[in-house]
Amino acid sequence: MSAIDSPVSPTDGHASATAKLKAGVVLAAIGIVFGDIGTSPLYALRAGFLVPGQESVSADAVSLPLVYGLISIFFWTLMLVISVKYLLFILRADNRGEGGIFALLSLLPTPKEGSVFGLPRRWFILGVVGASLLYADGLITPAISVLSALEGLKELQPFELRSEPMFSTELIMLMALVVLFGLFLIQRKGTSFIGFLFGPIMLLWFLTLGVLGAVSIVKTPQILEALNPIHVVNVFQGSFTAAITVVSAVMLCITGGEALYADLGHFGRRSIGTAWYCIVLPGLFLNYLGQGALLLRTPEAIVNPFFLLVPEWGVGPMVILATAAAIIASQAIITGIFSLTHAAIQLGLLPRLRVVHTSEHGSQVYVPLMNMIAAVLVCLIVLIFQTSERLSYAYGLAVALDMGLVAILFAVLMQRHHGWGIVRLSAFLGVFLTLDLTFIIANTFKIPKGGWLTLLIASTTCYIIFTWIRGRKVMIERYARQTLDFTHLVNSLQTHPLPRVSGTAVFLTQQQSGVPPTLLHHIKHNKVLHEKVVIMTVQTVAVPFVDRSDQVKVTEQSDGFWTVAASNGFLQSADVPRLMRIAGEQGLETHEGSTTYFLGRNILSPRGRSTMPGFQKRLFCTLAQISSSNPLYFSIPPGRMIELGVQVDI
């Protein structure tokens, strides 16, 4: 459980304030966590009738067994995957309150053969693949959500006049681009601002979903028969093509389910569970039932069953509300991307990009460069696919694969760390992994029509991550060759002493031992030393946060030299001045105004001899160049920093 969701005793005199705080957290959770899954009714049910090879749905595809079967699968999938798998199982696998695939990986026991960046070696690749899939999902979600919401504008025009549409595909696409551009512009405001701003809107959205669905159910109550799970079996007794279409569409109704785990640290398990059971689940399923009832009455409504639930007078306001909900849906996954990127940077999986903390709560962050890249790519996706129906072919595969990976990693954690026996393990995997594999197989049939986009984004992201990891390893090896033994330096200074000036010099290095090349360059060119010389390393460990008392270890060497070994969690920023203040509590007294920080600026060249291919070398050098400057990453004021260039041939 996160700090934001921790219980407070009512005897402390603040019971009413605590209740308001929890209500506010639940409201923010509705606005952030459930935005993605909350807009699934816009397109999920219609996709279940989309015959492969066709550009649009037809009333001929609507049949009573298929309507009952699709609604039944939607219901039982929501219950099994979200209510049981995630809320009862996965969300309990938190690392000090934080969730997400990296938090899950960090909980796994490290094998004897070693680890990679503090993560178990044998599961490391699965973690990278899972993270890459989340990036793919994060780029597709905003495009399909906003497009499907704005396509409701077509329902403002009567059927008989649609030969000359008031809102053409091109116009809707242009409007979607404007909305998405505005969405990415407001990211700098932060998660708390957006969550508490959009929470009430999303609450209204789910209430509206429930009311629209309930009105339609009253008109055609026989749709309630779809709750009988026997209709799920009937779907698979029909044609193979229809079954694959239905199963792949079902994946769309739970897209965004992974956000529950990724945003666990923002809101806590209790707040997420309360929002789901009290608001989100009732609204979603009432609306799906209502759409099914509408199709039983009017099969032609399959062209857009969501907006045709709405009375004619309410279509315009509903389009506005749906667009707002789509923006929130996009926000849910964008927030997860920022958190994921921050964790990957801290673990050394991505270059050091600038990360802005948008609140006092450490995991609420904004990554400007990632925001800009995502904005460009999302707009390109809209231009390529143009409609939500075409984009639905690309959607779902990333979520299915990611959910399968999470199920496997969770099972490993339970078996090795919590003592699950073969019976409990088999029951968990037998139910949930079977579901995930079914979704994965069904979505592979969509690869030629759009699923290739998911694979392209995920594989490109994987290649970038592994290139950075491999290049960084080569760079550290080259860097280590230029590192001098500390004893040798001290002996040399005793033989050839240098002038000492007042103040403290802090040299940051990635090496755990020895003298960094930056210090040697300083001695060679400036021929002077400060009274206190501090050699500091900042390492990231496989926990989200490290307690202040455990963050810094200070060792006094000789002749005014000190070493400081600092540790950060993978959701903490490397604030070096703050770490130095902690070191001061352990005997390393410094004055902030007289402390100078020396950092090495690696000048990379692809001309070195290594096993990396030439293209990968050049890519790594490019990634290193787009990294933000070290002072921003280490929170060092620019006026108190000196950079020394060190050439490294990769």
Burial class (CB in 10 A: 0-12, 13-18, 19+), 75: buried
What's the pLDDT at 418? 78
d(CA 43, CA 253): 9
What's the pLDDT at 82? 92
Tokens 């990679």 appear where? 116
d(CA 110, CA 126): 15
The three-state secondary structure class of 78 is: helix
Q: What is the 3-state secondary structure (H, E, C) of 611-632?
A: CCCHHHHHHHHHHHHHCCCHHH
d(CA 189, CA 447): 36
pLDDT tens digit string along 153-172? 877 655 444 455 567 788 88
Pick the CATH number of 3-339+366-387 from 3.40.1620, 3.40.50, 2.30.29, 1.20.1740: 1.20.1740
| Range list of β-strands (E), 299-368 | 356-357, 365-366
d(CA 246, CA 232): 10
pLDDT tens digit string along 90-113? 888 877 777 777 778 777 765 544
Among 286, 304, 279, which Cα is nearest to 206's? 279
What's the pLDDT at 54? 58
**Mind giving me the DSSP string for 475-532?**
HHHHHHHTPBPHHHHHHHHHHS---EEEEEEEEE-S-SSSB-HHHHHHHHHH--EEEE
Q: Are 288 and 41 in contact (CB under 8 A)?
A: yes
pLDDT tens digit string along 55-89? 566 667 778 888 898 899 999 999 999 999 999 99
Q: Are 334 and 190 in contact (CB under 8 A)?
A: no
Q: Please name every residue paired with 604 in a beta bridge, in sequence order, or none if there are none.
A: 648
> What does the block give as tokens for 92?
């309990």
The three-state secondary structure class of 116 is: strand
Global pTM value? 0.77
Q: Name the residue type at position 131.
A: A
> What does the block give as tokens for 499?
């002038």
Q: Could you tell me which residues come within 8 angstroms of residue 16 by beta carbon, excluding any fewer than 6 positions away?
A: none
d(CA 219, CA 222): 9
What's the pLDDT at 347? 76
What's the pLDDT at 3? 32
> From the first residue on, what is the mean pLDDT of each consecutive set of 10 residues in the chain (650 residues)?
32 40 75 83 83 62 84 92 91 79 73 50 77 87 86 67 64 90 78 64 92 94 91 77 79 82 79 90 94 91 87 87 83 78 81 72 72 92 88 83 87 82 88 88 85 90 90 77 74 84 87 78 85 87 79 85 85 82 86 84 70 81 70 75 71
How far does CA 64 lie from the centroid of its chain?
39
- Domain boundaries defined on the chain: 3-339+366-387, 479-649
